[in-house]
Structure 1
Amino acid sequence: MAVPSLSLKSRLRLEALEARRAYARSLGAPLRQALEAKLAEIVLPHLAGARIVAGYHPMRDEISPDKILEALNDRQISALPWFADRDARMMFRTTPARQAGPWGLMQPSSDADAVAPDLVLVPLVLADRAGTRIGHGQGHYDRALGHLRESGPVFAVGIAWEPQIADEPLPADLWDVPLDAIATPAEWIVCRPSQAGGNRPASA
């Protein structure tokens, strides 16, 4: 039986996962912490108008948004993804992360407040400068962002190491939700003009 060839998107995902793994593991702890602090410096000025900011609990090779969430002001609420089980749609509940979720990552407890973020920090495997994002292929963020945007504007910011940004356009499926901006420790990339209305970050 012939083995189906991988799609271009699947090949790019596999190559980018390996590149992300190699890059992250090449960083010593002090340099990694310095890069994540620089990421926070770049992102925080763009969060001034956000009321509820959702981050994520990073996998081993992902850049961490923890320093961003820790630096939110007293009027802002931080949230993290939450899953009831592996078949459930991703929701967001207020921090901190207290229990292991069905995907093996830490998440808030089931009695934490469920919230609808107006700004979501989105992990990625690879992204281009137009906001096309390749994730792990499960579609969790595409479905969650689509659901949130049924009730109003939600600003999606991809968070990545610098080598995860592709200069050439990436393939996109019809259901892929584009990012509004991308942040690395080196730059803030505007992918789409902000739409009028809603509780958009004032400086995004």
Structure 2
Amino acid sequence: MIVSDDLDALKAKLRAKLKQRRAEAAAANGAAIAEVAATRFLEALPVQAGQVVAGYWPLADELDPRPLLRQLQACGAAIALPVAQAERATPLEFRRWTDFGTAPPAGNWGIPAPEGDADRLEPDILLVPLVGFDKTGRRLGMGGGYYDATLAALRAVRPVLAVGYAFAVQQVPDVPHGERDQRLDWIVTERAAIPCGKQD
């Protein structure tokens, strides 16, 4: 069993490597890749009118989900963005957002987020940013623990579909993981929509 300090070190080393890969992919052709990834998502994962899709506002070189979110909104889905709390490893809130041409104001940790007067929504589908992933749905994030806490809380109440959204170059054979790390149900990249197996 990997002890916590060793796991953190393994994740940090891999995170640095994959952030470089992600930055290179975004710089090379990020806008075009975002359009293709949106098509891959829509082909594999139909969303019903009225369903709530929680996306994210892209930071730095994250794969931009806005082309997808615009299309989902046009098809009748309600779109929400996450609101991070100041305390790490706590569940995110999700609030309605409709304007994908204007960034929300910066919230905790500088993350753009809808303000408190926006409607709070409970997601049916959660689009999850990441630094790295493997084919079993293991995800390497930024280390704050927000999405793991969020998925644990949501799944304790009702089913929610968690979809990692990333450049294909962010895939690795195996993501180091601990007991609290939540798996994703799907990964969508510009190359494919990947249903994630549950095997270890």
Asked whether the two chains share a fold, i.e. TM above 0.5, the reply is yes
Aligned to 1:79: 80
Q: For residue 110 of structure 2, give the secondary structure of its aligned residue in structure 1.
A: coil
| Corresponding residue for residue 115 of structure 1 | 121
Q: Residue type matched to 1:99 in 2? A: P
Structural mapping, 1:31-180, within 5 Å: 31-45=29-43, 46-49=45-48, 51-72=51-72, 73-86=74-87, 89-96=91-98, 98-166=104-172, 168-180=173-185
Find 1:187's aligned residue among 185, 189, 192. Answer: 192
Residues 5-44 of structure 1 aligned to structure 2 (within 5 Å): 7-25=9-27, 27=28, 31-44=29-42
RMSD, aligned CA: 2.0
Distance in 2, matches of 1:106 and 1:191, equals 29
Point out where structure 2 has 5 or more consecutive residues left out of the alignment: none
**Aligned residue-pair number:** 185
Give secondary structure in 1 for the equivalent of 2:115: coil
User: Which is helix-richer, 1 or 2?
Assistant: 2
Amino acid paired to 1:181: W
In structure 1, distance between residues paired with 2:183 and 2:85? 26
1:114 match: secondary structure: coil
> Does structure 2 conserve the Cα–Cα contact (< 8 Å) formed by 1:160 and 1:184?
yes
Q: Does structure 2 retain, via aligned residues, the 8 Å contact 1:179–1:192?
A: no
Q: Counterpart of 2:118 in structure 1: which amino acid?
A: A
Looking at structure 1, the residues matched to 177 and 48 of structure 2 have their Cα atoms a distance apart, in angstroms, of 30
Q: Is the 8 A contact 1:94 1:113 kept in 2?
A: yes
**Contact 1:56–1:80 under 8 Å retained in 2:** yes
Q: For 1:15-57, what per-residue CA distance to the aligned partner results, in whole angstroms no more than 9, with x for missing partners?
A: 11122223322x2xxx322211111111123132471001001
